[in-house]
Amino acid sequence: MLTQPLFIGSEIYRGSSYGKKHPLRVPRVSTVMDLSRALGWLPPAQFVNSPRAKPKALEIWHSPDYIAALQTAEDAQHVSAETRARHRIGTLDNPVFPEMFRRPATSAGGAMLAGELLSGGGVIYSPAGGTHHGFPDRAGGFCYLNDPVLAMLSLRRQGVQRIAYVDIDAHHPDGVEHGFEGDLDTVMISVHEEGLWPRTGAVEDRAGGSAFNLPVPRGLKDTEMALILDRLILPVVTAHRADAIVLQCGADAVEEDPLSHLSLSNNAHLRVLRALRPLAPRLLVLGGGGYNPWSVGRLWTSVWGELAGHEAPDRLPPEAEAVLRALSFDGNRHGRNPPEHWFTTLTDTPHEGPIREELRTRLNMLTGRLKAPY
């Protein structure tokens, strides 16, 4: 069993970008690494350099033709019209860029290593993970490989049978649902913005009995997320008696994210994390979406602090503040006049509000399934 939480990261994410106009032009994992180290939260003994998954290892779920297409596209920095149509790479969402195979293969390698390291129990954080839209033979939604699926299959290879996958990204995890549809040893819970791409995950969608999908209305605040945690997430995970929990902690549900319309503070994510941690002997926390560099860096660093047992200071020390002041967000209104607290604190002011009836109705639909085998 792991004796302390581990952080899996890599220098490949520093400077790697999907392109100057793509939402993933902003630094994310490197910011979390730098900010954690500036706070004294990431000693060498807790940092694991992520391996790059070998092409053959990725074929545990992805097709050989697709893996070969990714490698060829990285080498040539070009795809044919046929490859673009078949594998959905070389598109605006999933562009050709210099590390387009090596970067996702590194996050996939970290996720698969996490499954091995967690064989006896423990806690691992891999903020580069969470690419939940990848499919066996195609990319989707900025995701070339599906590291949550690969992590869960890695856990299975270590004899970990019952897995709870909880996804609080603003987008529905269509690739993960595809991977574990009908697998009743896996329970999947997704809280995602209704109507947002990929426009899947309706409340009626059970994925063969293994999924609880909760599309939420725009403007979701901390108060409503607390109700979702208490009424849905905790009862379902507890009833499943999971041997491992995988939490996809996408930062795009935070209010300032440019690609979604939810209104959570980063306190909401941390509350979910704290509540889930004692419910299984193994916990793997992944990143996911998040396209505002300050809200991503502050949230994901706070997640590591929570896992590693550190309390966020009321005001960041100068070294940590300098990391956040060095960020920029060109081409977005949030980058023109960022508020001072994005530079000086990690924790947001809570965003409270009323609980809407439409949310209560959907929760009642889902929790009614707990009265019978789901």
β-bridge pairing 122-126 and 47-49: unpaired
Q: What pLDDT is attached to residue 374?
A: 56
Helix intervals (H) in the chain:
29-38, 55-58, 64-76, 81-87, 102-117, 147-157, 174-180, 222-228, 234-240, 266-276, 293-308, 318-325, 341-344, 357-367
Judge whether residue 197 has pLDDT over 70: yes
pLDDT in tens, 200-215: 999 999 999 999 999 9
Alpha carbon distance 267, 279 (integer Å): 20
* Rounded average pLDDT over 241-256: 98
CB 181 within 8 A of CB 142: no
What's the first-to-final CA gap in the chain, in angstroms? Answer: 31
CB 307 within 8 A of CB 125: yes
Q: What pLDDT is attached to residue 345?
A: 98
Helix axis angle for 293-308 and 29-38, nearest 10°, is: 50
User: What's the pLDDT band for 371 if we cut at 50, 70, 90?
Assistant: confident
Q: What pLDDT is attached to residue 334?
A: 84
The owner of tokens 């902003």 is 26
Per DSSP, the three-state class of 198 is coil
Output the CA angle 52-244-157, nearest 5 degrees: 55
User: What whole-number percentage of the chain has pLDDT above 70?
Assistant: 99
Q: What pLDDT is attached to residue 372?
A: 64
Per DSSP, the three-state class of 328 is coil
Helix axis angle for 293-308 and 266-276, nearest 10°, is: 30
Per DSSP, the three-state class of 226 is helix
pLDDT in tens, 322-338: 999 999 998 888 888 99
Closest CA to 40 of 227, 305, 322, 258: 305
Backbone φ, ψ for residue 117 (5° rounding): -65, -25
Judge whether residue 370 has pLDDT over 90: no
Judge whether residue 289 has pLDDT over 80: yes
Q: What pLDDT is attached to residue 134?
A: 98
